[in-house]
Amino acid sequence: MKRNLRRTIFAMVLLVAIVVQAPLALACGPFALESIFVFTVHPEYPLENFARGNLGVVLPSYARSYLFVAYRHLNGASFTATEQQALVDLWRDRLDLRWTNEAENAVDGWLEARKKVSGLPAEAPKIDVYRPREKPHEYDVYLNCQQDAFENAVATLAARMQKFGADSATVKEWVDAQDQVFANCSAGQTIPAALPADADALRRADRDYQIAAASFYSGSFAAAIAKFETIAADTNSPWRTKAQYLVARTLLRKASLGPEETKQEALKASEERLTKILSDSELKESHAAAMRLLGLVRLRLHPEERLHELGVSLARKTEQPNLKQDLWDYTILLDGFIGDEDAHHRKSFSVPTAAGETTDDLTDWIATFQSEKPEAVDHSLTRWQETSSVPWLIAALAKVGPQHAKAAALQQAAANIPPTSPGFASASFYSVRLDVAAGRSAAARTKIDDLLHKHASSFNRSALNLLQQQRVLVSQNLEDFLSHAQRTPGGLSWNDDGREVPVDEAEATDELKALQGKTLFDTDAGEILNSKLPLAVLSQIPESNVLPENLRRDVTQAVWLRAVLLGDAATATALAPKLKALVPEMAPLLDNYAATRDPAAKKFAALYAWLKFPGLEPVVDTGIGRGQPLNEQESYRDNWWCSAAFSTPESRAIAEKEKTAAGLANDNRVPAFVTTAQRAAAAKENATLESFGAAPNYLCREVVEWATKNPSDPRVPEALHLAVKTTRYGCTDKQTGRWSKAAYDFLHRRYPNNQWTKQTPYWFKD
Amino acid sequence: MLKNSRHSFRVTLIALLCAFLLLAAFRFRTSSERSHATAKSSASAARLARLPPVILWAWERPEKLDYLDPRKVGVAFLAKTIYLRGDAAVSRPRLQPLNVPNGATVIAVARIEAPRESDRAETPTLSQRQLKDAVTEIAELGSLPHVVMVQVDFDATTTQRSFYRELLRDLRASLPPSTLLSITALASWCKGDNWLDDLPIDEAVPMLFRMGVERKQFLSQLAAGAPFSAAPCQASAGISTDEPIAQLSPVQRVYVFNPKSWTPEAVNQTLETYQK
């Protein structure tokens, strides 16, 4: 009895607990791998290839550091191995958002070295290298104490320990003062006290240097400059040479962080000081650091001059010892002048120059190549005619239209570029693009096939895919089209931030491995298949062996369902055996479909199959596509055909924008073999499909209609259940709730005790 | 027989009484929690309602925004990025300059970056130590001048949710009571998912950009005027200048991301598009 009571109470408690405990829906973040057929933000990986001169097709949408490298190679100026490494380092820093915590690591190094000194407090001071600024810049933080400060402290400590001994009071005194110096890194003002005049000369020199450094880190720039000047004038101080440089560095820091009105003055003073150091052979040990700092000062003081100065020096064919920093500065300056907006929003295709200066060729080329302004076309042609250089030839080729008077001359010049040239792929692509756009299909076909067969090694995967995009447009027949519509992606990327960074090998999941080497449909090919070819043409594809099985399966299911939806039962019936062979799980449903004669019953048989196979859709996937098997639901509602529900003006605008990215758009995107009548038929069929709206609405409507007329069909309760399910897991619109309720009501009213009714406790509003 | 019936009756009665007491206790507790939550949420709602209708996200790039009209536009600036690496929570402050006008509504954003699970060497342990360090770092933002809200930007997989729930709970306790707490949210969290329901936050901003595979679905629903079902998601929306949404349902606040530095032109264009 007691046991029964306990059970009853336990059951009640459990019931209450279940009521109280809300269930958690389990859904992971929507991170999806994306196939990148053509890299547009940067060249295809590995970037080392690009640095080496394997440029592929240079696109104007590339970031400017890549365009600089392209310019150099196109001009016949390659990079040394060291320079190539510097370039790759810069790109990886930017693309991987690499953040080196060198300063923090250096802090650790200093704290470790400090442990060797006895008699210090057990707990080491906490050093934070970042310091917030004062009002009105209270949200700004800057790296105050840099790596070299801690390295210098470690070296000095080692030297003083050697001279005075690790246990000496002098060393402990020095470390105490150094702790005070570093206390300024993150906040406040802690200045070590000066030593008496009769103190040991080295102790005093060290202390003076520490006082100057503490003033520098605490933002007391005037005091720091005065102290460093005193040290620089002290011929006995071991810090004399360094102090000269540190005066200039303090002036630069003052310009960066001090009052706005003293900024120019401080920069000029810093520039003068650095120039003086560089002209003094006695200060040779500071020259390298002074040179780097002078570049930074000039970048701020004379940005236009510095830009062109860098443009000239970077374009030189000689080795650049400071390539990474110079290119970093150059591109930052260029971004500031040209703007980093989309091409058609950029401020100008020309870059301002200081009075009396002319622009440098590199800067001019990058700005022109990236510009979509009409005047950039003529400018590129003028520069090509003036220079006869490959970079300007490619800029002009990329810009002119097929009807331009100079187009033929440009194409002739492009034809003279040998396959060994870094410009061969670009010149060939931009030239043949003109043939395609001009409608010279046969010539274009011959040229592209020649490139694909004889010169494929001059093209990377992205560049080959660009050629294939053009080749598809001049395809002679369906088979020809299909052989060029399938492509291997240039890379796979999560691309959740638009940086097109490919997944690295360490991230090779099973999903990724399964995709490697497989051909897929790029967006342009998908668009042609989904909206430019009529059913009569599409239905021939399953007969073809040109496509690999993964693509044949996708096309066959799309064409079969399209035939069903368009009411072409004959075509759908003819395709059923092909689909059955490719998707054996559908065999019983397809057999039933093929065996059914009555048109309405046949349609219901097809829709019943569709309900059970949520992955079926009357369109092909582009890229990686839907991840789940056809008979399984996809977590992100890519079930029962999503595309139709989303033909909104915004989505069309976005798709158009994506297509025009990198100048890849083409006005005539229909393959040459498609006749006018076929285009019209495709347009009509697409309008019919779009009129169905969201697939769940269509399915509910059709199922309810069939159920009303055929309530005794044993499939009906399950079909109604599945129809309601589509409104939960499919792509919906504002009408969906109405249809969900209609199917739900019908199921509950007509089949109250059916197992499918019990499994359908809700209908779904959206 | 009679004895058995009486026995059964007594058992049932006791069981029903227990159930009644449990349910009553539950109802009392929830109603008490609800009234407390209502008082708290009405104060929070009042503070939220005072935020400008358009808030610009100022990410890690130089941003000169001192020309903004503080009555119309607020600034949510990336103040810190916290990297969860192994057992550490490494903080990197904003290193780019930011200028805001006097009187601006300022929101400090902390971005939490955790390596993908496939990067096993760096996989965050999500330990208590990591949680504590991350909370300490983020809570510091609440004391920055004029910061009315702290916003946490993170991507949480299902397995990481309990960590983030605890982090937000501890963060809420560490922030001044008057400082609002916001998170950015995947659109899927706001619809058909209920993990946001018990988070101690004042708002969740559904991110209607970079949605990947979800984009079509959510754009369609937005166009259809369907609001997000999760309560914290209903007052705001996060969009990007490069993925404009023409048919955005009316919300109190629009957060706008710009993949480039803001310019007066871009701000004006944003205001024309989204200012209600």
A310-341 pLDDT, tens per residue?
999 999 999 998 899 999 999 999 988 887 65
Q: Which residues of B touch A25 (CB under 8 A)?
A: 192-195
Is residue B176 pLDDT above 80, yes or no? Answer: yes
Tell me how far apart the alpha carbons of residues A48 and B113 are, in angstroms, rounded to a whole number.
28
Q: Do A27 and B93 make contact, defined as CB atoms within 8 angstroms?
A: no
Q: Are residues B75 and B202 in the same domain?
A: yes
Q: Which range has the worst mean pLDDT, A14-23, A685-694, B56-65, B143-152?
A: A14-23
Q: Do A498 and B210 make contact, defined as CB atoms within 8 angstroms?
A: yes
Question: Is A505 in CB contact (< 8 Å) with chain B?
Answer: no
Res B223: pLDDT: 63
SS3 call for A492: strand
Could you check whether the bond before residue A352 is cis, i.e. omega within 30 degrees of 0? no
b/e per residue A12-46 (b: at least 16 CB within 10 A) = beeebeeeeeeeeeebebbebbbbbbbbbbbbbbe
Question: Is A522 in CB contact (< 8 Å) with chain B?
Answer: no
Q: What is the pLDDT of residues A229-280, one digit of tens each?
A: 999 999 999 999 999 999 999 999 999 998 889 999 999 999 999 999 999 9
Q: A714: which 2 tokens?
A: 């044993």
Question: Is A30 in CB contact (< 8 Å) with chain B?
Answer: yes
Determine the residue of chain A that is closest to B265 in CA distance: A345
3-state helix, strand, coil in chain B (%, to 5): 40, 25, 35
Closest Cα in chain A, distance from residue B49 (Å): 24
Q: What is the pLDDT of residues A267-289, one digit of tens each?
A: 999 999 999 999 999 999 999 99
Last residue of a domain, one of B27, B49, B71: B49
Angle between helices A323-338 and A287-301 (to 10 degrees): 0
Q: Do A13 and B18 make contact, defined as CB atoms within 8 angstroms?
A: yes
Over residues A4-33, the mean pLDDT reads 37
Q: Do A29 and B155 make contact, defined as CB atoms within 8 angstroms?
A: yes
**Can you say whether the dihedral through the CA atoms of B197, B199, B205, B209 is positive or negative?**
negative
Question: Is B88 in CB contact (< 8 Å) with chain A?
Answer: no
Question: Is B5 in CB contact (< 8 Å) with chain A?
Answer: no
Q: Are residues B231 and B96 in the same domain?
A: yes
Q: What percent of chain A has pLDDT over 70?
A: 88
Of A349 and B248, the structure prediction assigns the larger pLDDT to B248
Tell me how far apart the alpha carbons of residues A398 and A441 are, in angstroms, rounded to a whole number.
19
Question: Is A16 in CB contact (< 8 Å) with chain B?
Answer: yes
Instruction: For residue B94, give the nearest of A139, A496, A642 by CB distance.
Output: A139
Of B29 and B210, the structure prediction assigns the larger pLDDT to B210
Q: Do A8 and B15 make contact, defined as CB atoms within 8 angstroms?
A: yes
Q: What is the pLDDT of residues A428-450, one digit of tens each?
A: 999 999 999 999 999 999 999 99
Q: Do A340 and B119 make contact, defined as CB atoms within 8 angstroms?
A: no
Q: Which residues of A touch B221 (CB under 8 A)?
A: 732-733, 766
Instruction: For residue B194, give the nearest of A13, A22, A138 by CB distance.
Output: A22
Question: Is B23 in CB contact (< 8 Å) with chain A?
Answer: yes
Closest Cα in chain A, distance from residue B195 (Å): 6
Closest Cα in chain A, distance from residue B271 (Å): 18
Instruction: For residue A340, give the nearest of B94, B243, B260 by CB distance.
Output: B260
Res B212: pLDDT: 60
Q: What is the pLDDT of residues A531-558, one digit of tens each?
A: 999 999 999 999 999 999 999 999 999 9
Q: Are residues B268 and B137 in the same domain?
A: yes
Res B1: pLDDT: 38
Tell me how far apart the alpha carbons of residues B229 and B207 are, in angstroms, rounded to a whole number.
15
Determine the residue of chain B that is closest to A135 in CA distance: B145
Tell me how far apart the alpha carbons of residues A263 and A253 are, in angstroms, rounded to a whole number.
10
**HEC states along A208-220?**
HHHHHHHHHHCCC
Res A33: pLDDT: 75
Question: Is A497 in CB contact (< 8 Å) with chain B?
Answer: yes
Q: What percent of chain B has pLDDT over 70?
A: 75
Closest Cα in chain B, distance from residue A25 (Å): 5
Cα first-last separation, chain A = 50
- Structural domain harbouring B8: 1-49
Write the DSSP string, A501-569. Answer: PBPPGGG--HHHHHHTT--EE-HHHHHIIIIIS-HHHHTTGGG-SSS-HHHHHHHHHHHHHHHHHTT-H
Determine the residue of chain B that is closest to A141 in CA distance: B95
Of B263 and B273, the structure prediction assigns the larger pLDDT to B263
Q: Do A30 and B226 make contact, defined as CB atoms within 8 angstroms?
A: no
Closest Cα in chain A, distance from residue B224 (Å): 5
Question: Is B116 in CB contact (< 8 Å) with chain A?
Answer: yes
Q: What is the pLDDT of residues A599-615, one digit of tens each?
A: 999 999 999 999 999 99
Res B213: pLDDT: 54
* Domains in chain A: boundaries: 47-95+361-513, 518-758
Count of domains observed in chain B = 2
Is residue B205 pLDDT above 50, yes or no? Answer: yes
Q: Do B220 and A645 make contact, defined as CB atoms within 8 angstroms?
A: yes
A-contacting residues in B 31-70 (Cβ below 8 Å): none
Determine the residue of chain A that is closest to B79 in CA distance: A139
Q: What is the pLDDT of residues B210-248, one digit of tens each?
A: 776 566 666 666 666 666 778 898 889 898 887 777 667
For the entire predicted model, the pTM comes to 0.79
Q: Do B211 and A643 make contact, defined as CB atoms within 8 angstroms?
A: no
Q: Are residues B7 and B129 in the same domain?
A: no
Res A7: pLDDT: 40
Question: Is B177 in CB contact (< 8 Å) with chain A?
Answer: no
Q: Do A650 and B192 make contact, defined as CB atoms within 8 angstroms?
A: no
Number of residues written out for chain B: 276
Q: Do A20 and B98 make contact, defined as CB atoms within 8 angstroms?
A: no
Question: Is A260 in CB contact (< 8 Å) with chain B?
Answer: no
Is residue A735 pLDDT above 90, yes or no? Answer: no
Over residues A492-513, the mean pLDDT reads 74
Q: Which residues of B touch A496 (CB under 8 A)?
A: 210, 212
Tell me how far apart the alpha carbons of residues A680 and A687 are, in angstroms, rounded to a whole number.
11
Res B41: pLDDT: 66
Tell me how far apart the alpha carbons of residues A510 and A336 are, in angstroms, rounded to a whole number.
43
Q: Are residues B33 and B150 in the same domain?
A: no
> Phi then psi for A231, rounded to 5 degrees?
-65, -40
Q: A281: which 2 tokens?
A: 């052979």
Tell me how far apart the alpha carbons of residues A385 and A401 are, in angstroms, rounded to a whole number.
17
Question: Is A135 in CB contact (< 8 Å) with chain B?
Answer: yes
Question: Is B4 in CB contact (< 8 Å) with chain A?
Answer: no
Over residues A358-380, the mean pLDDT reads 91
Q: Do A340 and B211 make contact, defined as CB atoms within 8 angstroms?
A: no
Tell me how far apart the alpha carbons of residues A110 and A120 are, in angstroms, rounded to a whole number.
14
Q: What is the pLDDT of residues A83-141, one digit of tens each?
A: 999 999 999 888 876 667 788 889 999 999 999 998 888 889 999 999 999 888 889 99
Q: Are residues B95 and B159 in the same domain?
A: yes
Q: Which residues of A touch B100 (CB under 8 A)?
A: 139
Q: Are residues B133 and B203 in the same domain?
A: yes
Question: Is A335 in CB contact (< 8 Å) with chain B?
Answer: no
Closest Cα in chain B, distance from residue A635 (Å): 10
Determine the residue of chain A that is closest to B192 in CA distance: A25
Of B263 and A731, the structure prediction assigns the larger pLDDT to B263
Do A229 and A273 touch, CB atoms closer than 8 A? no
Which H helix or E strand runs over B254? strand B253-257
The count of CB pairs under 8 A between chains A and B is 152
Domain with residue B262: its CATH number is 3.20.20.80
Q: Which residues of B touch A31 (CB under 8 A)?
A: 116, 155, 212
SS3 call for A11: helix
Determine the residue of chain B that is closest to A256 in CA distance: B97
Over residues A400-413, the mean pLDDT reads 96
Q: Are residues B21 and B153 in the same domain?
A: no
Determine the residue of chain A that is closest to B77 in CA distance: A139
- Count of Cβ atoms closer than 10 Å to residue A169 Cβ: 10
- CA dist A224 → A135, A155, A266, A489, A555 (Å): 21, 22, 14, 57, 74
- CA dist B241 → A481, A663, B104, B210 (Å): 37, 21, 21, 11
Q: What is the pLDDT of residues A644-689, one digit of tens each?
A: 544 544 445 555 555 554 444 444 578 989 999 999 999 999 999 9
Q: Are residues B8 and B118 in the same domain?
A: no
Question: Is A7 in CB contact (< 8 Å) with chain B?
Answer: no
- CA dist A763 → A724, A741, B91 (Å): 6, 5, 47
Question: Is A636 in CB contact (< 8 Å) with chain B?
Answer: yes
Question: Is B162 in CB contact (< 8 Å) with chain A?
Answer: no
Q: Which of A35, A102, A139 to mutate to test the interface with B (most CBs of B within 10 A)?
A: A139
> What are the CB-based long-range contacts (under 8 Å, 24+) for B165-172?
B165/B195, B165/B198, B165/B199, B166/B131, B167/B131, B167/B134, B167/B135, B168/B199, B168/B200, B168/B201, B169/B199, B169/B200, B170/B131, B170/B132, B170/B135, B171/B135, B171/B138, B171/B139, B172/B200, B172/B201
